Structure 1
Amino acid sequence: MKETVGVVMNGVTGRMGLRQHLVRSVLAIREQGGIPIGDGRVIWPEPVLVGRNEHKVKAIADEYGLPWTTDLSEALADPAVDVYFDSLVTGERDKTVRQAIAAGKHIYCEKPTAPDLATALELARLATEAGVKHGVVQDKIFLPGLLKLKRLVDGGFFGRILSVRGEFGYWVFEGDWQPINRPSWNYRAEDDGGIVLDMFCHWQYVLDHIFGRPTSVQALAATHIPRRVDEQGEWYDATADDAAYGIFELAGGIVAQINSSWTTRVFRDELVEFQVDGTEGSAVAGLRRCRAQHRSATPMPVWNPDMPAPHDFRSQWQEVPDNAEFDNGFKTQWELFLKHVVLDTPWQWDLLAGARGVQLAELGLRSSREGRRLAVPELELP
């Protein structure tokens, strides 16, 4: 028997909304026959696509045989719709999420949930007072590499964790002699662009979930490429940060250092990697892989610049096995949220959790402007 959940999906004409949320999550759930919940029942999502560009949204809807509209009010007025999903650009989310809350729909949305903390907290308050369920996409904690890393942490592999070092990014072409590989709004502060607002929201929940809550931040944001070319081939001033260098103190005394950059060329195995060092062992985790080195297997290098290094350091790390089948991280969280809507199962990644990411980004930008370390207060609903 099908437990049908109507889902308005707004923003699927964007790359992430289309590929990860529609195709690899909601449609993949339908292709597998729904989400089993026992007694022969399955949760069955029924998506309705919403977009401002009629040509684009119609083309996607026709390709996958789905209903569509350009009128969000019309979609939200449908009593068969239970959930509103939003993957629009950040600056548009406040208005549409408020509208969906007022319509009594459960909320699931991308992050950042808002361009500023006050708005993010207000959305969390409104949803809570309305009694609707609400969730924020926090996909990276469901990545295979980070799931294996969390397994090592929970199993006590590291002993006392000392530090976390993260490297994320790749080169985003300026657009003059190579086509741009990210939308131009990402590099305009007036359009809520910038790598701090984009990525610190991720680092907040990754650090909090695996290691501990960030209690302080010291950051330096930079705009290394001052001019870029937009989708129309026109030069524009890049007013948002394209790189950020952050140091975070975590509850328990762990120090995390994360570099985020759209102006770096990749010389590592994956686009993001975290190295964790502890008294009993270390590990390096990326999107999919995780490798570890225990204290008992740690070599004893000697600094000698006059001869080649006698160690092949990479070969001395052990691959952490999967020991499980890992599904797409976006799909995994979609399944958890839909179970939360239908069965009221436990859920922790709500709009208040999303506001914590916005808070860290806001404090990171302020830290960069003021050149000092800032405390990260505990958040409560207003």
Structure 2
Amino acid sequence: MAIIPVGIIMNGVTGRMGTNQHLIRSILAIRKQGGVQLPNGDAIMPEPVLVGRQEHKLKGLAEAHGLTRWSTDLDACLADPSNIIYFDAQMTTFRVNSIRKAIAAGKHIYCEKPTASSFEESIELASLATEAGVKNGVVQDKLFLPGLMKLKRLVNSGFFGKILSVRMEFGYWVFEGDWQPGQRPSWNYRKEDGGGIIVDMFAHWRYVLDNLFGQVRSVSCLGVTHIPKRWDETGKPYDCTADDAAYATLELEGGIVVQANSSWTVRVNREDLLTIQVDGTEGSAVAGLRDCKAQHRVNTCKPVWNPDIPNPFDFRSQWDEVPDNQLFDNGFKVQWEMFLKHIVEDTPFPWDLLEGAKGTQLSELALQSWEERRWIDVPELTIQGGTAHAAAQK
């Protein structure tokens, strides 16, 4: 058995998501298991170098996990031929320039989303990667959540019949930071720093909807800044300039109607921080992050509206759990393994920078819908002659 080393520049992994999901639970977990196993008995072994702006954080993180490679010099890491993948988990506002450099250096690209702060920049990155001939991928982690994988299993089996509608509820109360620290960084609430729940979450909703139910065709969105003042990590008050909630309706191909509420100003009275209900002619299902419940038409009760008597039904007890029927690994790790195989074995990896651009496109069109208070069509994206194109934005 041969070990195939793959050097990975990991830029921005001192943040919460980069440290926990990408470094510890993905790359280090893959190294601990002996690499990514290939059919011929070989194994791909990721060799990370941690990159960032703050030396003390990088050094501390590397030492805590037995790593020796870290640097504040991105250019030097890009010049090292042993590093063949560039991964970016920085703040969105820093991402584009770094990815441009990495593409110019001939590195394969893997990055978090949104891939850019603007649609124009996101399709530029997709075009640059195509022209340079480098492989590229975007993290689309929610597709690998157990609850959504079970939901996809129901879709593929034809359980729903004709899908009619999808209702998505996402969010939780993020503390303002005055009497209790907030659970999210303060830049999330400043538009000038790339913040806002539309920019943050609609990149997720695009790939979830496209991959589970059908391509997004149009959007109507209302964004709101419900809480105008918060306190940052140092206890200093600041004005919130970005949206902290968004209420959207989307139409998918086939006429499927989606209602998607996203909020950092909602107190949770549901089974998970994200729930997705799908209703079809033959059955319905409700999925959270890990669980999924379904109800077929033959098991659907027949309620009658009568507010003058107590409700006679225990509605929630009438749903059946969709079984695991498989082992679920960490979604970020699963996608890392797929991307590493894509690099070494050229196996398929459909979630590229063009797919990432679709997320930024939807965010931008949702913001436009909010500003103009109207429905906006979502043009298809394609790459022609190495350049990404979209039909005219209406």
Question: Would you say 1:153 and 2:180 are equivalent positions?
Answer: no
Q: 2:366 maps to what in 1? A: 364
> Equivalents in 2 of 1:247, 1:115: separation in Å?
23
Q: 1:136 maps to what in 2? A: 138
> Equivalents in 1 of 2:304, 2:40: separation in Å?
62
1:109 to 101, 108, 111: 111
> Equivalents in 1 of 2:159, 2:55: separation in Å?
53
Moved more, 272-281 or 28-37: 28-37
What one-letter code is carried by the residue in structure 1 that aligns with 2:169?
A: E
Deviation of the 1:232 alpha carbon: 1.4
> Equivalents in 1 of 2:36, 2:62: separation in Å?
22
2:85 to 70, 83, 86: 83
What one-letter code is carried by the residue in structure 1 that aligns with 2:105?
A: A
2:378 to 357, 361, 376: 376
Q: State the percentage of identical aligned residues.
A: 66
> Equivalents in 1 of 2:126, 2:381: separation in Å?
11
Question: Would you say 1:7 and 2:3 are equivalent positions?
Answer: no
Question: Would you say 1:333 and 2:335 are equivalent positions?
Answer: yes
Q: Secondary structure at the match of 1:324?
A: coil
Matched ranges for 1:10-159 at <5 A = 10-66=11-67, 67-159=69-161
> Equivalents in 2 of 1:40, 1:370: separation in Å?
57
Deviation of the 1:39 alpha carbon: 2.1
Matched ranges for 1:200-239 at <5 A = 200-239=202-241
Q: 1:173 maps to what in 2? A: 175
Per-residue CA distance 1:324-345 (angstroms, 9 max, x = gap): 1010000010000000000001
> Equivalents in 1 of 2:331, 2:41: separation in Å?
25
> Equivalents in 1 of 2:297, 2:39: separation in Å?
45
What one-letter code is carried by the residue in structure 2 that aligns with 1:222?
A: V
> Equivalents in 2 of 1:102, 1:254: separation in Å?
41
Deviation of the 1:40 alpha carbon: 1.7
Q: Secondary structure at the match of 1:260?
A: strand
> Equivalents in 2 of 1:266, 1:39: separation in Å?
48
Per-residue CA distance 1:26-84 (angstroms, 9 max, x = gap): 00111111111122201110000001011111100111121100110111111100100
> Equivalents in 2 of 1:362, 1:144: separation in Å?
29
Deviation of the 1:135 alpha carbon: 0.3
> Equivalents in 2 of 1:94, 1:133: separation in Å?
16
What one-letter code is carried by the residue in structure 2 that aligns with 1:35?
A: V
> Equivalents in 2 of 1:335, 1:304: separation in Å?
54
2:273 to 271, 282, 304: 271
What one-letter code is carried by the residue in structure 1 that aligns with 2:343?
A: V
What one-letter code is carried by the residue in structure 1 that aligns with 2:222?
A: L
| TM-score, L = length of structure 1 | 0.99
Q: Secondary structure at the match of 1:82?
A: strand
| TM-score, L = length of structure 2 | 0.96
Per-residue CA distance 1:157-187 (angstroms, 9 max, x = gap): 0000000000000001101101111000000
> Equivalents in 1 of 2:41, 2:179: separation in Å?
56
> Equivalents in 2 of 1:148, 1:180: separation in Å?
32
- Count of matched residue positions in the alignment of Structure 1 and Structure 2: 382
Per-residue CA distance 1:123-180 (angstroms, 9 max, x = gap): 0000111110000000001100000000000000000000000000000110110111
1:255 to 250, 257, 262: 257
> Equivalents in 1 of 2:146, 2:310: separation in Å?
35
What one-letter code is carried by the residue in structure 1 that aligns with 2:51?
A: V
Per-residue CA distance 1:224-272 (angstroms, 9 max, x = gap): 0001001111111100000000101001110011100000011111100
> Equivalents in 1 of 2:281, 2:376: separation in Å?
28
Unaligned runs of 5+ in 2: 383-387, 390-394
Q: Secondary structure at the match of 2:168?
A: strand
Q: Secondary structure at the match of 2:248?
A: strand
Q: Secondary structure at the match of 2:123?
A: helix
> Equivalents in 2 of 1:147, 1:173: separation in Å?
31
Deviation of the 1:305 alpha carbon: 1.0
> Equivalents in 2 of 1:131, 1:214: separation in Å?
28
Q: Secondary structure at the match of 2:38?
A: strand
What one-letter code is carried by the residue in structure 1 that aligns with 2:325?
A: N
> Equivalents in 2 of 1:268, 1:71: separation in Å?
46
What one-letter code is carried by the residue in structure 2 that aligns with 1:99?
A: K
What one-letter code is carried by the residue in structure 2 that aligns with 1:64?
A: H
C-alpha root-mean-square deviation of aligned residues, in Å? 0.6
What one-letter code is carried by the residue in structure 2 that aligns with 1:51?
A: G
Matched ranges for 1:344-363 at <5 A = 344-363=346-365
What one-letter code is carried by the residue in structure 2 that aligns with 1:53?
A: Q
What one-letter code is carried by the residue in structure 2 that aligns with 1:249?
A: E
Q: Secondary structure at the match of 2:255?
A: coil
Q: Secondary structure at the match of 1:252?
A: helix
> Equivalents in 2 of 1:76, 1:287: separation in Å?
36
1:304 to 303, 306, 310: 306
